[in-house]
Amino acid sequence: MIVPFALHPEAVPSRYVDGYRAFEECGHGPVSAKQAMILFYDLGSPEASECQDSVISSAQLISRGSQELTQSYNCPHSDSLGGHSTRAALTIEQGSDKHAAAKMPAIAPSEPLTFAQAMELERVPSEDEIYLSRYPALSYDYAPGKPLSVQRSYGGHVYAQAIWAASQTIRDTGLRVHEANGYWTQAGHANRPFVFEIKTLSQTRSFVLRQVTARQPTTPSDVCPFPLSDASKSLGPVAFALTCSFKAPEEGPGYWIKLNREKYSDLLQKDPTMHPASEYVRGPNRAGTIKLADFPGIEVRTPDLTAYNEKNRGTEHRRMHIYRGVAPLIVDPNMIAAAHAFVSDRAGLSVLLHTFEAKTLGVSGSLNHKMVFHIDPEKLKLDEKGWFIQEMSSSRGAEGRAIIESRIWDPSGELVASTVQDAMFRSIKPKLS
């Protein structure tokens, strides 16, 4: 999952930072990481060209050829974008870039999706266990009546849906997911479905281990919900792989690390709804903020830990999310686990940005994400009464990779799940003028 980033303030011309914010505030965001880099850097910079979220390439943006297509927006902040009129324009060449002007599916009007709808799968007729996703793999409260404003899929959605796909093979067994380890190998597209294939790696009386691979058609879908016929299209390489382990619930003694409520006393005593709605990613200089609506069926908020983090930098930096369910409530235990997995991948990379203090960090992305459920997911029901707490930190970063850990406590204070994420990052060299 490639995300926008925070940059060293001295390396960013103020007009590009202000322009990016203005562009977003006028309702034209979120934009891709590459578009953000174009706004941050001079057009055509090597850093922009290296960005993997290539919805629009730098070469296309600076092209002045005869095949240009100009998208203009009425924007009162156009001067911040570097223009001198009331229209801020992005110029996009219709060139050979496979992501340029990507076709988006025709969307039928509907209400915003519930979490169950966002996870909806359709069995593909086959001797094998193959399922097709029905809706775009996005992180925000996606309403099919709205146009898709982003083209890259959200990794947490794919991760959660792969867990749910694996769960289809153990229905009516009483088994519950207790561990899921996912690997991103390709960037995903929001304008086409994922095709999940499930295989059995091992099966004993106590544990069942499934492997899930996710691929996508090489061409966009024409309609949404995605039709079953999309599964018969030519498929690209594996974009995501998951191993998922299931076991039967059992009772027994337990222990856990308690959340340090004294450390966060001021925040945790506050009405949870008074905390700001969660943002996708925010860097220390706040130049890389992209705001998205709530997840489908899940309300996520981000307590402001600025006061704590001002005294605790580097590996002591902490980030926190609190979240709860939104009606209709999720009932199936393995879908409950998928919902927690969906949230768990939301903002780990922002911890990386803060830990490095964004002085040399450029593009970052998830390599893999592992989640362990310490108790039966049926006990982790998401409703509107109680808030789960996720605390994130990073203990080590080196040689282009960093580890991001998190712990999740239920409303009663019991540690119920833990995650470990291996992330990659790329250093940038500020361009000298």
User: Tens digits of per-residue pLDDT, 133-172?
Assistant: 999 887 554 444 445 555 678 889 999 999 999 999 999 8
Closest CA to 330 of 322, 320, 342, 344: 342
pLDDT for 345 equals 83
Instruction: Please tell me whether residues 62 and 152 are part of one structural domain.
Output: no
Instruction: Please tell me whether residues 223 and 280 are part of one structural domain.
Output: no
Q: How many CA atoms lie within 13 A of 297 on its CB side?
A: 24
Lowest mean pLDDT among 53-57, 197-201, 266-270, 412-416: 53-57
Tell me if 326 is assigned to some domain: yes
Residues 6+ apart with CB under 8 A from 283: 5, 6, 7, 289, 350, 353, 354, 358
**Sign of the C-alpha dihedral computed for residues 10, 16, 22 and 26 taken in this order:** negative
List pLDDT tens digits, range 185-206.
Answer: 988 998 899 999 999 999 998 8
pLDDT for 202 equals 95
Q: What gap in Å lies between CA 28 and CA 20, rounded to an integer? A: 10
Instruction: Report how many domains make up the chain.
Output: 3
Instruction: Please tell me whether residues 170 and 81 are part of one structural domain.
Output: no
pLDDT for 300 equals 85
68 has pLDDT over 90 = no
Tell me if 361 is assigned to some domain: yes
List pLDDT tens digits, range 92-136.
Answer: 222 333 333 345 565 543 567 789 999 999 999 999 999 999 998
pLDDT for 199 equals 98
pLDDT for 140 equals 53
Lowest mean pLDDT among 90-94, 218-222, 232-236: 90-94
Instruction: Please tell me whether residues 399 and 365 are part of one structural domain.
Output: yes
8 A C-beta contact, residue 193 and residue 119: no
CATH of the domain at 290: 3.10.129.10
Instruction: Please tell me whether residues 159 and 294 are part of one structural domain.
Output: no
Q: What gap in Å lies between CA 88 and CA 16, rounded to an integer? A: 13
Residue 239: pLDDT band with limits 50, 70, 90: very high
List pLDDT tens digits, range 331-365.
Answer: 999 999 999 999 998 766 777 776 766 555 655 67
What percentage of the chain reaches a pLDDT higher than 90? 35
pLDDT for 162 equals 98
Instruction: Please tell me whether residues 215 and 351 are part of one structural domain.
Output: no
Closest CA to 392 of 346, 323, 338: 346
pLDDT for 402 equals 86
pLDDT for 190 equals 87
List pLDDT tens digits, range 263-275.
Answer: 776 777 777 776 7
Instruction: Please tell me whether residues 47 and 128 are part of one structural domain.
Output: no
Q: Are strands 106-107 and 223-224 parallel, antiparallel or unpaired?
A: parallel
Residue 387: pLDDT band with limits 50, 70, 90: very high
Mean pLDDT score across all residues of the chain: 71
Tell me if 80 is assigned to some domain: yes
82 has pLDDT over 70 = no
DSSP annotation of 25 reads I
Instruction: Please tell me whether residues 237 and 301 are part of one structural domain.
Output: no
Q: How many CA atoms lie within 13 A of 19 on its CB side?
A: 25
Structure token pair of residue 375: 């108790």
Task: Give how far Cα 303 sits from Cα of 21, 36, 323, 325, Å.
Answer: 22, 26, 11, 17
Instruction: Please tell me whether residues 175 and 322 are part of one structural domain.
Output: no
10 has pLDDT over 50 = no
8 A C-beta contact, residue 24 and residue 56: no
Tell me if 253 is assigned to some domain: no
With tokens 């990794």, the residue in question is 155
Domain boundary residue, one of 247, 274, 296: 247
Instruction: Please tell me whether residues 295 and 180 are part of one structural domain.
Output: no
Instruction: Please tell me whether residues 239 and 269 are part of one structural domain.
Output: no
pLDDT higher at 316 or 285: 316
**Domain interval for residue 288:** 265-427
List pLDDT tens digits, range 170-182.
Answer: 998 999 999 999 9
pLDDT for 107 equals 55
Cα Rg, the chain, nearest whole Å: 22
Domain boundary residue, one of 25, 59, 93: 93
pLDDT for 284 equals 34
Domain boundary residue, one of 247, 279, 314: 247
3-state helix, strand, coil in the chain (%, to 5): 25, 30, 45
Residues 13-42 have a mean pLDDT of 38
Instruction: Please tell me whether residues 180 and 277 are part of one structural domain.
Output: no
Structure token pair of residue 96: 């050979």
Tell me if 260 is assigned to some domain: no
pLDDT for 175 equals 96
371 has pLDDT over 90 = yes
Coil vs helix vs strand at 369: strand
Residues 6+ apart with CB under 8 A from 276: 301, 302, 304
